[in-house]
Structure 1
Amino acid sequence: MDHELLKLGSEALKKAALNEEAKDFILSNPSLFQLFKKAANRYIGGETIEETVPTILRLNRSGYRVTTDFMGESIRNEKDAKEATTEFLDFASAIQSHQLDSSVSLDLSHIGMLVSRELAMENLDRLCRAAAKSNQEVIISMEGTDRTDAILDIYKETLKTHSNLGITIQAYLQRTPDDFTEILQLPGSIRLVKGAYDTPSGYSLPRGKELDERYLNYAEQLFAKDHPCAIASHDEKIHQEALRLIERHQPKNYVLERLLGICNEEFEAYKEAGYPCRIYVVYGKEWYLYLCNRWAEYPLNLFRGLADIMG
């Protein structure tokens, strides 16, 4: 019964995240904006680069690596795609000027993939060049299943000219065994996630034992080859099993990853034990959708949000 209630709560929060009227009402109402922003602050680095740099510096000084994403996706015109790319380029400059340990994460649809393949590749090329100046990586995130082929195509093509490029692989997709076999042969880093997007029936595995086993199988293959990778999960069981695989294979080119504000207390113990740990930091003004999605992942976090609002 508790599981069913959590599932219903999760579905309701996902719908709330996509409700444009609710979003516009909250963001245009100064009082509601400030209340919800208090809850969002747990999960975001800030709304601007200037607000986010101190967050990254604090994490770096605490021993964490960071990857940073300027929130946004599904841009459908060239002007907005170029503006988003300029923001990413400005952040890459901030990495260099502030000597941050932070890679750049992004959705290809944020920099023009839905406008044209050529525009996305041009903008990605510029970002890879900018990030290389501070010896940092650009990591492509995954999106809905209707975009997977396009994302992998752009990744594979751009990797031919930029070695500081990585890709995210979603373990839950039924197509992933074939994709993983191919991507594992390429030099780019792999961020391994379970997968969170809704998919058409039959496209993905549900959360559970089979998915966990598949995820850990991919992780073991990465460790065995010492392929550059990030084990990105908030599932404590996954990270505990990953640690056992790390002890077995002794890889050097890996990092454990979690989102800012999600189970970071447990993560601290891994860092203190000497495991390389990376925090995924997001920033920008599109925090309403991000906040709802964080609550949807585990609806009981809503109560923590209420505490943040009242605090």
Structure 2
Amino acid sequence: METLRKVLLWASTNRWLSQRLPERRFVRRAVRKFMPGETLEDALGEAARLREEGVPTLVTTLGENVETAEETRESVAEYVRAMDLADEMGLDLEVSIKPTHLGLDQDPQLAVENVGELAARAEGRGTLWIDMEGSFYTEATLSLYRAVRRGHVNVGLCIQSYLRRTADDLESLMEFGPRIRLVKGAYAEPAEIAFPDKRDVDESYLALARRLIDHLGNGGDGFLGLGTHDPAMIGPLSADAGAAGLDGSRFEIEMLYGIGRREQRRLVGNGTPLRVLISYGGAWFPWYMRRLAERPANVWFVARSMFR
């Protein structure tokens, strides 16, 4: 499984594959398991359906490392459109952005301005989430979060338990009463930067989550979103959050569209706060490879799709 994971992560960075494989019908058919379509309307249509099941949502536009300042403005406009349409439809929907989609490669100050504009637009609409990308961007993304957070309480940050530095990073953010989405991490990283052993990644995840649960349970400001499909994380950490008196205003499970539907229904039935992340856009291939790498067993779904 580890070899397969490495192959999938390599594929996520291969330009030739990203140009050729999306043309294959079986690949496009298989990716529908994880995203409803390439347009915002596709994503919001599924958000409306999930609302009927009592599930709020989160959307993100796929695409990283845009090349011009003009493209970053197009990204801002797309997210504003998402928020406005969600309001018109009466959806409980939040937005998650990638820093390199909004100018981090061009100019950190441009990214601050773009993300700050979106955070202002998101006031009263929930959290504006800043995703964490590969480790090359970790320090710059933390700086971006701190700069925007000083003016906007409603901005949140994704952190990755597989990075060795994350425990220290979290401590440095506690002064903000941070809104945190905790994930394990899905980029190819060297062993000196990220834990190579799944057991260590899991232990880090549990420790980081419990640090935040203790903080919130003792009256600290902030929010914890557990980005995971792993029952070994969901069960004990949900119990810890309940014991700490955390409700949906301070804690939730965040799962990906199309993964763990049975578990999602179980959580809703148990009254556990849940939000589902819906991704959309044409630049889906790198993201799709990383989703497969997170759970290589999903490759068998793709294999079956080839022969339908």
TM-score by length of 1: 0.91
Tell me if the contact between 2:186 and 2:293 (Cα under 8 Å) persists in the aligned partners: no
User: Counterpart in 2 of 1:149?
Assistant: 139
| Residue 112 of structure 1, CA deviation | 0.5
Q: Distance in 1 between matches of 2:252 and 2:278?
A: 15
Query: Is 1:41 matched up with 2:32?
Result: yes
Residues 164 and 188, structure 1, Cα contact 8 Å, conserved in 2: no
* Partner of residue 238 from structure 2, selected from 229, 240, 243: 243
Residue 179 of structure 2 corresponds to: 189
Segments of structure 1 that go 5 or more residues without pairing to the other structure are: 1-5
**What does residue range 89-168 of structure 1 map to in structure 2 within 5 Å?**
89-132=80-123, 134-168=124-158
Q: Which amino acid aligns with 2:299?
A: L
Moved more, 138-147 or 210-219: 210-219
Q: Which secondary structure does the structure 2 equivalent of 1:278 belong to?
A: strand
Give the equivalent residue in structure 2 for 1:3: none
2:77 alignment counterpart: 86
Amino acid at match of 1:9: L
Rounded to whole Å, the distance in 2 between the matches of 1:17 and 1:144 is 12
* One-letter code aligned to 2:209: A
- Describe the superposition over 1:199-226 as per-residue Cα deviations: whole angstroms up to 9, x where unpaired: 2331122343333222212212222222
- Aligned 8 A contact 2:43 2:59 in 1: no
- The gaps in structure 2 that reach 5 residues or longer are 217-221
Query: What does the per-residue CA deviation read over 1:132-179, in whole Å, with 9 as the maximum and x for residues that have no partner?
Result: 2x5222100111212111111111111111111000111222211221
Equivalent positions of 1:204-243 (< 5 A) are 204-226=194-216, 227-243=222-238
Tell me, what secondary structure is at the counterpart of 1:105?
strand
Supply the distance in 2 between the matched residues of 1:55 and 1:309 (Cα, whole angstroms).
25
Aligned length: 301
User: Which residue does the alignment assign to 1:26?
Assistant: 21
1:305 is matched with: 302
Fraction of identical pairs, as percent: 27
Letter paired with 2:144: I
The 1:309/1:96 distance shift into structure 2, 3 A limit, reads: farther
Match of 1:238, as an amino acid? Answer: M
Alpha-carbon distance between aligned partners in 2 of 1:221 and 1:201, rounded to the nearest angstrom: 24
Counterpart residue number, 2:161 = 171
Q: Which of 43, 46, 69 in structure 2 is aligned with 1:52?
A: 43
Contact 2:6–2:188 (8 Å) recurs in 1: no
Offset from partner CA, 1:8-43 (integer Å, 9 cap, x none): 22222222232222222234x4xx2x3322111111
Given candidates 1, 5, 10, the residue that maps to 1:15 is 10
User: What is the SS of the residue equivalent to 1:185?
Assistant: helix
Report the 3-state secondary structure (helix = DSSP H, G, I; strand = E; otherwise coil) of the residue aligned with 1:94.
helix
Provide the C-alpha distance between the structure 1 equivalents of 2:63 and 2:232, rounded to a whole number of angstroms.
30
Instruction: Tell me: CA distance 1:209–1:289, structure 2 relative to 1, closer, same or farther (3 Å).
Output: closer
Number of the residue aligned with 2:264 = 267
TM-score (norm 2): 0.92
The one-letter amino acid paired with 2:233 is I
Paired with 1:221 and 1:115, the residues of 2 have a C-alpha distance of 35
What does 1:271-286 correspond to in 2, within 5 Å?
271-286=268-283
